[in-house]
């Protein structure tokens, strides 16, 4: 049985990651900004016989991350999934910008994963894994415009976590970046390519197979290397 922590576990891919790990018999630490609104997650927890617990954590807030992590105890964490994110200003405004919205995007999707990692790192030993949800929009190969804040934040996350991977390698902690696919979630829309269940299943397999020699790599949900 592994112990996994999942941010953004209240909906979408985060919820499905939590559900599938629970079905495998794993211990799940579910982290959500608003536990009162996570009704489906609460139903999973109620039927889990204590294997899944829900904890409040706003990844954009230092105090919330620290208190949320402390509430989960001190058990070792085998896998940390940094899933939580926002779309930011859409469509992008070429000739103007809401800088407060930009700040929110970077606070949540660049600083947030590092905050969460810092909070759980003392509980992560050799072989533990930190899987960060990136996007194909982070890649220079993405052939479209728009989504300025979101794309920039995900590109920054990739570079940040590649540096973290280098610095954690001697500790044996594996850091991964994953594009979850275009998924039928609130953010991805109903017309997206794959379901949350398909994305989560692929990501769990990719995570299980991730080795230290590939720490810092950017992969797709199906295990293929994502050009960057």
Catalytic amino acids?
A: 150
User: Which run of H or of E encompasses 168?
Assistant: helix 148-168
Distance CA 162, CA 117 (A): 14
Strand (E) positions, the chain? 3-7, 27-32, 52-56, 79-82, 129-133, 174-179, 218-220
Distances (CA, A) of 182 to 26, 123, 193, 194: 26, 32, 6, 6
Distance CA 31, CA 55 (A): 5
In eight-state DSSP terms, residue 109 is I
Which tokens in the block code for residue 2?
Answer: 């592994």
Three-state secondary structure call for residue 225: strand
Which tokens in the block code for residue 161?
Answer: 């976590």
Q: What are the beta bridge partners of residue 52? A: 28
The 79-82 sheet, strands edge to edge: 52-56, 27-32, 3-7, 79-82, 129-133, 174-179, 218-220
């Amino acid at each position: 049985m592994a112990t996994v922590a999942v941010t953004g576990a209240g909906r979408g891919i985060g919820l499905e990651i939590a559900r599938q790990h629970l079905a495998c018999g794993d211990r799940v630490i579910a982290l959500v900004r608003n536990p009162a609104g996570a009704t489906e997650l609460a139903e999973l927890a109620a039927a889990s016989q204590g294997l899944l617990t829900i904890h409040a954590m706003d990844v954009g807030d230092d105090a919330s991350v620290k208190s949320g992590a402390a509430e989960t105890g001190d058990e070792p964490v085998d896998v940390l999934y940094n899933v939580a994110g926002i779309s930011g200003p859409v469509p992008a405004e070429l000739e103007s910008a809401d800088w407060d919205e930009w700040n929110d995007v970077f606070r949540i999707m660049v600083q947030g994963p590092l905050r969460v990692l810092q909070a759980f790192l003392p509980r992560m030993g050799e072989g533990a894994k930190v899987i960060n949800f990136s996007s194909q929009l982070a890649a220079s190969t993405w052939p479209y415009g728009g989504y300025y804040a979101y794309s920039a934040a995900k590109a920054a996350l990739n570079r940040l976590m590649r540096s973290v991977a280098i610095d954690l390698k001697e500790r044996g902690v594996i850091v991964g970046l994953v594009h979850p696919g275009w998924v039928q979630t609130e953010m991805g829309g109903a017309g997206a390519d794959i379901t949350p269940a398909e994305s989560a299943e692929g990501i769990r397999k990719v995570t299980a197979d991730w080795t230290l020699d590939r720490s810092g790599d950017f992969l797709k949900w199906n295990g293929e290397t994502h050009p960057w």
